[in-house]
Amino acid sequence: MALSLDYVVRETASNLRRNLLMTTAAVLTVAVSLSLFGGSLLLKRGIDRATIRWRGGVDLSIFLDPKAPSQQADAIERKLAGMPEVKRFTYYDHQKAFDEFKEMFKNSPEEIQSVTAEDLPTSYRIVPKRAEDAKAIADRFRNDPGVIDVALAQKIVDTIINITDIARWAIFVISGVLLLSASLLILNTIRMAIFARRREVAVMKLVGATNWFIRVPFMLEGMVQGLAGAAVAFGVVVLIRSGVEWLVHHYDLGLLDQVVVSSRDAITTGSMILVIGGLVGAVGSFVAVRRFLDV
């Protein structure tokens, strides 16, 4: 038997109406689980942005006065080159510092417009041979001419990561459990629908209907449930991002200012959520129908 779009749509709509309560439960469970999952992805992206200057193993940064003469920067570079504790170091001139600034604050265009490259301090990003040497290296530069600050990654990165790591993994686990629950709910919903029509399915098999002819409307039903829940989660993810941005712009929340992700990140995460929701629904339905087709 050949599948027709009219048949598939009609059967899917009929199945959704028959199991409205179970369908609603499955959609809500998918929505909650994918909202948590999406929120944890946004949190990870925000942390990555907030710690951008500490990537590549950088343990400390020496920031120079923007108006410091080149001789002072050269003196610091020679001092770094002669220290056996230093594995490698990189110089960030005004333009590189400005490019980094734009990446860190790309959600706040007014911040970017308020400064120029020349306003930002140049810096040396240092990777010590041993992490425990970072503080000793920092102490040797704090009072050097032209140095306005020596920042240790341990103080900044650890503060952000320690606060958010446990919460992020807890959210991942909870969302995973809820997503599994949603899959089981969808699976059970499809099983109830096909069980109620088991005689009709058996007759269809006897008159020559293929497994896919029977399977597709149920798989589409599951996919609709998954996508509906994912669409709700998409909206929640966008609202979370907008809510955090509003809080940061209206209150002084310190490090959270750098954790806010862009609208593009939120939309990308939401699109991923839609794909996951559709797959969860389709796979759950496929498994549910398979048992009843073995006749």
What is the model's pLDDT at position 272? 87
Q: 125 forms bridges with which residues in the sheet?
A: 61, 90
Q: Chain-wide mean pLDDT for the chain?
A: 76
Phi, psi for 216 (deg, rounded to 5): -55, -45
Structural domain harbouring 196: 5-51+158-292
CATH number at residue 115: 3.30.70.3040
What is the model's pLDDT at position 221? 79
Do 219 and 184 have their domain in common? yes
pLDDT in tens, 238-263: 888 887 777 766 665 555 555 667 77
Do 230 and 87 have their domain in common? no
pLDDT in tens, 257-292: 556 677 777 888 888 888 888 888 888 777 777 766
% of the chain beyond a pLDDT of 70? 74
Do 33 and 173 have their domain in common? yes
**Which of 122, 153, 184 is the C-terminal boundary of a domain?**
153
pLDDT in tens, 134-161: 888 888 888 888 889 888 766 555 665 5
**Strand arrangement of the beta sheet that strand 86-92 belongs to:** 86-92, 123-128, 60-64, 147-152
Cα distances (angstroms) measured from residue 186 to each of 68, 86, 176, 178:
65, 57, 15, 12
Tell whether the model's pLDDT for residue 90 goes beyond 80: yes
The tally of domains found in the chain comes to: 2
CA distance 68 to 121: 9
pLDDT band at 7 (very low <50, low <70, confident <90, very high): low
**Which of 153, 170, 192 is the C-terminal boundary of a domain?**
153
CA 91 to the chain's CA centroid: 31
Q: Flag the least confident range among 50-59, 119-128, 180-189, 190-199.
A: 50-59
Do 106 and 148 have their domain in common? yes
**Which of 153, 181, 205 is the C-terminal boundary of a domain?**
153
pLDDT band at 16 (very low <50, low <70, confident <90, very high): low
Do 113 and 177 have their domain in common? no
Cα distances (angstroms) measured from residue 229 to each of 16, 162, 172, 180, 289:
14, 32, 18, 14, 21
Tell whether the model's pLDDT for residue 177 goes beyond 70: yes
> Which two tokens mark 257?
């200012």
Residues 6 or more apart in contact with residue 37 via CB below 8 angstroms = 171, 172, 175, 176, 179, 233, 273, 276
pLDDT in tens, 104-127: 777 667 777 888 888 888 888 888
Tell whether the model's pLDDT for residue 205 goes beyond 80: no
Q: Flag the least confident range among 19-23, 89-93, 253-257.
A: 253-257
CA distance 36 to 233: 8
CA distance 194 to 290: 10
